[in-house]
Amino acid sequence: MTLNHGQPTAADLRALYRRDPVLGRAIKRLPPFPGFGQGRSADSHFHSLARTIIYQQLAGQAAATIHDRVHALTPGPRFPSAEDLAKIPTARLKKAGLSGAKQAAIKDLAKKVINKELRLRSISRLDDQEIIERLTTVRGIGPWSAQMFLIFRLGRLDVLPGGDLGVQEGLRILDKLEDRPTQARLEARGACWAPLRSVATWTLYRVVDEARDA
């Protein structure tokens, strides 16, 4: 089971540098991997997943505005709970800016949490693949969204979203490739990054940022 999370040890990072010196040089050049986990951008696991649904296919500011409107649909400082959201009429969710597909997805997430089909309180006890399998039963949550939850909410250190265009572009730049690698090629190339594939993923995102800002 892959239950590693939080921050990699110095020894783990040195071993990664030896396995992939090219990636290692990028890691050393860029800001330190910050580590991830609970409490950074969401009140709860439910909020984190609902936020993911809201942000899908939207630019950052537009998504943040809609998220804040949904947040304001119930009183108090915390994001609406599953029980709260299940009771909010779809007309109010639509007025907040959610599309029909996102309304259905958030309602399905709330329903599965309330019915205990999805037990978010204990989900961190499961390994990565089990979590992906359970989360992707929710309408609107695919493998990529589940992988982002693993990395940024649970702080799992060995996740590689091979289908992510940003990660593919980062590897293209890192390895000086003419074209972006396919998912299969990226995953094969990244096999040596285990058990710190999340660190590699974060680094490849930063490689893209660095190239854009150059």
- In the structure encoding, which two tokens stand for residue 199, read together? 């660190």
CA distance 146 to 100: 21
Q: Does residue 113 contact residue 103 with C-beta atoms inside 8 Å?
A: no
Q: Hey, which residues are catalytic here?
A: 164
